[in-house]
Structure 1
Amino acid sequence: MQSYIYYSYLSAATAYGFLLLYACFRKNWHLPFIIAVLCSFTWCTSVIIATKNSHFFFADTLPYETLRNASWFLQLGVLLSKQIYNDHKQIFKSNVSVVATIILAMVLGIEIFPGYLTIIREHLNVDPRFASHVVFAVFGLILVEQLYRSTPLKQRWNLKFLCISLGSLFAVDLLVYSKSLLFSSLDFALWQSRGVINALMTPLLAVTLSRLKLNSQSTELTTPRKTIFYSTILFGCGIYLILMSFAGFYIKRANTEWGEAAQTLFIFLAILLLIIPFTSGKIRAISKVYFSKHFFHYSYDYREEWLKISKSLAKLESLEELKGFIITTLTDLVESAGGGLWLKNDQGHFFLAAEQNLKLTPQEIEYLHNIGDLPQYLANKQWVIDFFELAHAPEVYDDIDLSPWCYEDSQVWLIVPLFHLNKLEAFVVLTQARAPRKLDWEDHDLLKTVGMQLANALALNRTSEELANNRQFETYHRLSAYLVHDLKNLVAQISLIVKNAEKHKHNPDFFDDTIDTLNNVVKKMHHIVEQLKQGETNTTTANTFINLVELVNNIAQQHLGTPPLQMNTTLSECFVTADKIKLTNILTNLVQNAQDAIATSDGWVKLELTKNQDYAVIKIIDNGIGMDQQFIAERLFKPFDTTKGNAGMGIGAYEARDYILKQSGNIRVDSNPGQGTAFTIQLPLAQRVSAKQGNNDHF
């Protein structure tokens, strides 16, 4: 055994020696780190001497181990003080540092001077050294956890290997000395392996040394919320191990005949008590969420996240910027590689409004275009759909079919709903993370909270847009009133000419005045026409029975220019109930738009009229420039949004849809860029409407 201990700690001493040389010959010294490595090297050397010198016992190496622990506590304390207070000396002014220093000094005195140890054994009948080193191990683990959790996420890369290596060393010490405390003798089987474990950890410490300079220069302060103590479970485990050790010790001393059996039974029950909760998935999940919410430090500062997003939202000036910001914000929160935003239009249908690096297959995009009951599911559940969770707990999503995205290479990872006043306004599809990760309850809470804030921004943008539209309508109505007034004046002028013509028709001066007046009227009429293009101020008449065959033929005769309008119908009559003037204007406007969309000499426009059992079907088809789906969903039927510049007012398509829907009809648009457009209008046949009213007098 001594041979194994010798080579085990020799490897550790050699590794620490090289690490010490590496630390000393660097340009930027880190003194606490050098002291800790030197104390570790001295401790390993003392164990090597103890294996070769019969006058030097393994118990004599405990003071060196205490000094090693104290030096690593110093290193962790310096870094922790830097993270919390931005001052590497501040933490040593705290009461915890004073108490830790006193305990270390007392234990060191007991280990160096055997007389103190004898006095304690005579009065307490226990050896305090094992218990002290259990406390040191627990305290070291607490410091490691405090340092890691208090370090901002972007700086944890600097301290990651330090926390792993020291956490491993203190965890091994906890195991060794808690078992030694239980049996009142040093557990050599575990103790002798610590040398090899220390040797394996030195490369991680060497990597840490090259990164400590980055961390020491950091000036980022953590918030007071992050300075709370959050090692409740770890501290409780340490106390539990100590109590278990003392209980086992006293059971063994109480009755030597059955003490060994009772001790074994006690250990078995203690282990069983730990295994049962940890093998129950439900208990683990409930415990994890409860203790994480009530005892541990939050991974996110919700106040900081909310303020940061609010400041960024305040800088946005358009809906397009907001769309990109929504995707960027959510992808950055979970480090997703990309995403797409689906917005709800006026008809309650969702469409892909924006995307960033959305690497989905055409089939997946098509599935999301025909999403079926997904919006209703999101509205009812109001939670984030996690496809990683779906793969491991499919029973959670039993009431919805997500199979189109459930295959090995699917890029869909999360579907995040955005709610405003408990109504689903949009949802974001996020692709797989840059580095695979599992989201916990806090990630889901943050996504829902941020989603609510982003949905509020969308709702505010939509409200502002509607307010702007209402103002434009108000301006339009005011303009119409002015134009009606001007028209009345023009009519009055022309009426006056007609009234006086019979009397002054032979007067040359009268003709001169008439020409001047008419020139003025023409100029004003041109001005009015320019302002009223695609709009009209005439009030509509009541609905009447209309033969669509005659109506569309008249429209075809009026549009025989370039490109020509091709009329196609086999019907002799097709009656609907509508406002003839209004319907004529709507169809004329759509035909004119189709002709305006023709960009080539071989372009054409078709006007087709058919009917089925219930509806008259009018189709206006062209092979023009076409439109994409986003334009159709967002802009085509949006009032005052025109692509014709000053030539149009942008209310033609809006007016057409508004009137058709009021007539219990339907309007559909099929279009692709470069492939033309087809408007399909369905109007209820007059026979069906009159039958409902019990009036068939017209047929």
Structure 2
Amino acid sequence: MTTIASFSYATAALAFLLLSVLLSTTWRGRAHGRVLVLASAITAGSNALLAWEALHPIQWSVATDSVEILRNGAWSAFLIILLGHFEDKDSKLPFRLRPSLALIIAFYVLFFGATLLGYFRLELVSESGLMPGVAGRMGMAVLGMLLVEQLYRNKPEQERWAIKFACLGIGAMFAYDFYLYSDAMLFHKVNADIWAARGAVNALTVPLIAVSVVRSASWSAELAVSRRVMFHSAALFGSAIYLLTMGSAGYYLRYFGGSWGSVMQVTFLFGAVILLLGILFSGSFRAWLRVFISKHFYSYNYDYREEWLRFTSTLSKPGPGLGDRAVQAVGALVESSAGLMWIRRESGLFEPAANWQVAPAMVSEPADSPFCQFLDSKEWVVDLQEYEEWPSKYDDVAMPAWLQAYPRGWLVVPLMMQGRLFGFMLLMQPRSAIKLNWEVIDLLKIAGNQAASYLAQYEAANALMVARQFESFNRMSTFVVHDLKNLVSQLSLLMSNAERHKHNPEFQNDMIETVNFSVQKMKLLLQKLSRTVTPENPVALPIERLLRQAVAMKGGFEPQPALTVADAGLTVRADWERLERVVGHLIQNAIEATARDGRVEIGLARRGESVLIRITDNGEGMSEDFIRERLFKPFESTKSAGMGIGAFESQEYIEELGGTLEVTSERGRGSTFTIILPLLKQERQDAHTLNQAA
């Protein structure tokens, strides 16, 4: 076996020596020739030393171990340089691996120093002192394979043909070392057969490296490694180092644990694996690793191609919930864990529109508030922590009081649309600390504008859809009215003809009764459909009298509604018929949602300069999702015969009058609809009376 091993390593030494000579003479102008010559020469020397020691009783001396470490380090250095990591400090390339290069150098220096001191000696058969040496060499093999994988994966498709044989050859050397030392770690000794074949395997890699050297004119060092690949490689490399360390610790627990050694080793390794899985699946750890990689390994914080593809993909997903996805897409840029969004409405308020991983907001912000005016004019991203320490930087603008309800609030991102504030987002604290600089702030501004355009397009599409539905509804009403007129005329003619046949009283009476009922029903339907085109006539009207008439019209239903007037003589300006229809619709809904033995109460009171009308029932109630998503949307109805426009029309008309319609409800406890209308003051009523008299 010693002769076979000597011949094997001698062959490898001659092969790499020939490669070194060719690189120094014929191919001396090739890319990265000096480092490649150094790596090839050290490999030739390492194999020659192993071939000589295979014929002598003293094996694996300090010199042999040290030269092997230098050989692995030389090939790793060649791969790193080929990756383009030695760029100038002012390089425009987005990737600089100086910190990782320092870690690799530190690893090799420490291992080399420990070997010289005799701590990491490798012997052919050893029950003590084997594990540290094997673990270190496995670490070098894993590092080499990772570098090969990085080099090949990130090369452009057209350049891989030139580098693939070098990757195959160098990777084969590191892969065989990993196999050799894994077997040694498993059986606590180096397998002599595998060790003897190692030289021949290394010799077979020389032609592969030579082929790539011939093609080396197309090698390029200008390589940008994606952050995703760097993230997964860093996680893989860290996991490998962690498992190697834990494996070594488990071995010593078994070695020194006595009768409890095996139990302690298994328990320790199982706990180590569980801890590793917990760390790898931790969102905070993954966020920290991404921020760490972007901060220390790249000139810029973001891979803009990847980030923009992810951002656009999130916004473009089909289905509802665009607002929530917009908050998620913008928050992901800064590792924010949650957020809220407000959007400007026609009422002049920025109302809550979306929430992501946080409870929905219930507070609106006036568009003319100092906070909104500041966002509209400056278009700044507001760092709330910076504002607390340095409010003058933000012109000492007053922040909304409701922000205090969000102690984890971090950033306020304006959503600008055509130079106007369309809305704003409140992002919560990130999973990992992020330094806000011009790059992050500019990206948030651009992302906010892009999100605003998506949201505005979505709002416009919904408005167009509602307009088309109303157009279809009005067209349908026209046809229905026309058909009803024809039916009424025909039935009227039938009745006039039927009166001539009085000789059969029983038949005539039944016919007259049936036809008359149909005529009355169709006339009532015709009246309801035609009412929508009646011109409005807003006047000063006593709201108490209107409520009493609306309640009286519902007196035949159960439960009967009851009216309570706290303040009499209140007057509003509105169209009597439309307001009565709004109030009647809300009362009817309350009656239909309440059991016969329940109660429906209508209250009238004054609050400041407003009139409050409360319609309360103790019926089924509604969920928050139904109120927010469906209640006031047109053509959305839970009734089998409902058209779904009553609540929508009620809200629209009340807002036209300058009022608001508020809803509070709880499942199983009932609902309360509150109509708030501007009070028509006495002096305005007097002025109106004088004008009419004039």
Partner of 1:564: 560
Partner of 1:586: 582
Separation of aligned partners in 1, 2:568 and 2:625: 39
- Write the mapping of 1:173-572 to structure 2, written as runs, cut at 5 A: 210-211=142-143, 213-214=145-146, 216-218=148-150, 220-221=153-154, 297-318=299-320, 320=321, 322-358=322-358, 373-390=370-387, 393-402=390-399, 410-497=407-494, 499-500=496-497, 504=500, 506-508=502-504, 536-537=531-532, 539-540=534-535, 542-543=537-538, 546-560=541-555, 561-569=557-565
Deviations along 1:139-183, one digit per CA (max 9) or x if unpaired, are: x864799799437xxxxxxx786334368899xxxxxxxxxxxxx
CA contact (8 A) 1:480 1:537 kept: no
- Which of 654, 666, 672 is residue 673 of structure 1 equivalent to? 666
The one-letter amino acid of 2:350's match is F
Secondary structure at the counterpart of residue 466 of structure 1: helix
Secondary structure at the counterpart of residue 429 of structure 1: strand
Separation of aligned partners in 2, 1:34 and 1:162: 24
Separation of aligned partners in 2, 1:222 and 1:521: 87
Deviation of the 1:611 alpha carbon? 4.6
Q: 1:377 to 1:638 in 2, by over 3 A?
A: farther
Deviation of the 1:519 alpha carbon? 5.1
Deviations along 1:423-470, one digit per CA (max 9) or x if unpaired, are: 323322222221212122112222222222221111111111011101
Deviation of the 1:75 alpha carbon? 3.5
- Which of 632, 643, 647 is residue 641 of structure 2 equivalent to? 647
Separation of aligned partners in 1, 2:404 and 2:36: 49
The one-letter amino acid of 2:148's match is S
Deviations along 1:116-137, one digit per CA (max 9) or x if unpaired, are: xxxxxxxxxxxxxxxxxxxxxx
The one-letter amino acid of 1:78's match is L
The one-letter amino acid of 1:693's match is H
CA contact (8 A) 2:81 2:221 kept: no
Deviation of the 1:588 alpha carbon? 0.5
The farther-off stretch of 517-526 and 388-397 is 517-526
Secondary structure at the counterpart of residue 217 of structure 1: helix
Deviation of the 1:478 alpha carbon? 0.6
Counterpart check, 1:595 vs 2:579: no
CA contact (8 A) 2:39 2:78 kept: no
Q: 1:595 to 1:666 in 2, by over 3 A?
A: same
CA contact (8 A) 1:341 1:353 kept: yes
CA contact (8 A) 1:228 1:297 kept: no
Separation of aligned partners in 2, 1:391 and 1:518: 80
Separation of aligned partners in 1, 2:526 and 2:635: 13
Secondary structure at the counterpart of residue 343 of structure 1: strand
Partner of 2:653: 659
Partner of 1:78: 79
Deviation of the 1:657 alpha carbon? 3.2
Q: 1:637 to 1:346 in 2, by over 3 A?
A: farther
Q: 1:665 to 1:434 in 2, by over 3 A?
A: closer
Partner of 2:243: none
Separation of aligned partners in 1, 2:149 and 2:41: 24
Cα RMSD of the aligned pairs, angstroms, is 5.3
Deviation of the 1:571 alpha carbon? 6.3
Separation of aligned partners in 1, 2:612 and 2:341: 34
Separation of aligned partners in 2, 1:635 and 1:601: 26
CA contact (8 A) 2:484 2:526 kept: no
TM-score by length of 2: 0.56
Structure 1's unaligned 5+ residue stretches are 1-31, 43-63, 83-90, 92-139, 152-158, 171-194, 231-291
- Write the mapping of 1:122-201 to structure 2, written as runs, cut at 5 A: 142=87, 149-150=94-95, 162-165=100-103
| Percent of residue pairs bearing the same amino acid type | 28
Separation of aligned partners in 2, 1:409 and 1:313: 26
Q: 1:512 to 1:486 in 2, by over 3 A?
A: farther
Q: 1:405 to 1:620 in 2, by over 3 A?
A: closer
Counterpart check, 1:638 vs 2:633: yes
Separation of aligned partners in 2, 1:335 and 1:431: 9
The farther-off stretch of 589-598 and 339-348 is 339-348
The one-letter amino acid of 1:213's match is M
Separation of aligned partners in 1, 2:645 and 2:535: 17
Deviation of the 1:629 alpha carbon? 6.5
Separation of aligned partners in 2, 1:576 and 1:211: 81
Deviation of the 1:621 alpha carbon? 2.5
Secondary structure at the counterpart of residue 333 of structure 2: helix
Deviations along 1:513-563, one digit per CA (max 9) or x if unpaired, are: 896687578679879989998995451463456443333222222324333
Separation of aligned partners in 2, 1:508 and 1:314: 72
Partner of 2:204: none
Q: 1:611 to 1:432 in 2, by over 3 A?
A: closer
Q: 1:405 to 1:317 in 2, by over 3 A?
A: closer
Separation of aligned partners in 2, 1:452 and 1:205: 53
CA contact (8 A) 2:385 2:410 kept: yes
TM-score by length of 1: 0.55
Partner of 2:242: none
Separation of aligned partners in 1, 2:463 and 2:403: 39
CA contact (8 A) 1:610 1:616 kept: yes
CA contact (8 A) 2:616 2:673 kept: yes
Q: 1:539 to 1:163 in 2, by over 3 A?
A: same
Q: 1:461 to 1:217 in 2, by over 3 A?
A: same
Partner of 2:232: none
Q: 1:367 to 1:521 in 2, by over 3 A?
A: closer
Separation of aligned partners in 2, 1:161 and 1:398: 40
Separation of aligned partners in 2, 1:604 and 1:544: 32
Deviations along 1:397-435, one digit per CA (max 9) or x if unpaired, are: 243245979999942222222222223233222222212
Q: 1:583 to 1:409 in 2, by over 3 A?
A: closer
CA contact (8 A) 2:387 2:394 kept: yes
